[in-house]
Amino acid sequence: MTTRAMRRFTDEPVDDAVVLECLRAAQQGPSGGNVQPQQYVVVTDPDVRSRIAHWYRRAFLRYEATLDTPTEFRSEEDRTSWERTRAASHHLAEHLAEVPVLVVFLQPIIPWGSADDDGPLDIGRLDASVYPAVQNFCLAARAHGLGTALTTVIRVHSEEVFAELGIPEGRYEIAALVPVGHPTGRFGVARRKPVEAVTHWNRFGDRRR
């Protein structure tokens, strides 16, 4: 309930042993057919972090420029929440190089799904077998008092990041980049839509209020 996205961090170091413990938790995440497709690249070297942060910032600013700025909100709380999230996201883009640990979650580019005489069988996307590992990692980090945020905007510059990290071209894609560090803010229950508003019972549209 309190593993929320944290985007502001101190420069306090994170022990490699703790990162490994969180990755062990990640590795226990369920995956389709137990394929365990994910690979992890842990970036702690300040120079490498700086180069990855450069591409993250470029990707984020390019993406940010495409976003609409709402002019109306249902409440002042909604306005404050939106402004806080936008500011925190921008802050992370400007300060990613200072975060002690960056974990890049990779997934292989492989054939996925199957087909029979009636045609292709849509069994879901491969990344559905990677994101449980990401969430397990974030939960484990939270247990250690560490903050994380699931980010994907770095995919805009995947080619450059692969070159920086020595990742073979054409074999992987980035599922997530997760910054890890001691947060400056407090953990707590994040503001979300009421679950009753997005839950349907037995048939879409049948809600219990």
Residue 117 has what pLDDT?
95
d(CA 209, CA 205): 12
Residue 1 has what pLDDT?
95
What's the mean pLDDT in 183-209? Answer: 93
In angstroms, the Cα distances linking 80 to 16, 77, 89, 117 are 36, 5, 14, 54
The CATH number corresponding to 16-197 among 3.40.50.510, 3.40.1030.10, 3.40.50.970, 3.40.109.10 equals 3.40.109.10
Q: 201: which DSSP letter?
A: S
Listed by start position, the domains of the chain span 16-197
What global pTM score does this model have? 0.94
Average pLDDT, the chain: 95
In what order do the strands lie in the sheet containing 172-181? 39-43, 101-108, 172-181, 147-148
32-84: pLDDT as tens digits: 999 999 999 999 999 999 999 999 999 999 999 999 888 888 888 888 888 88
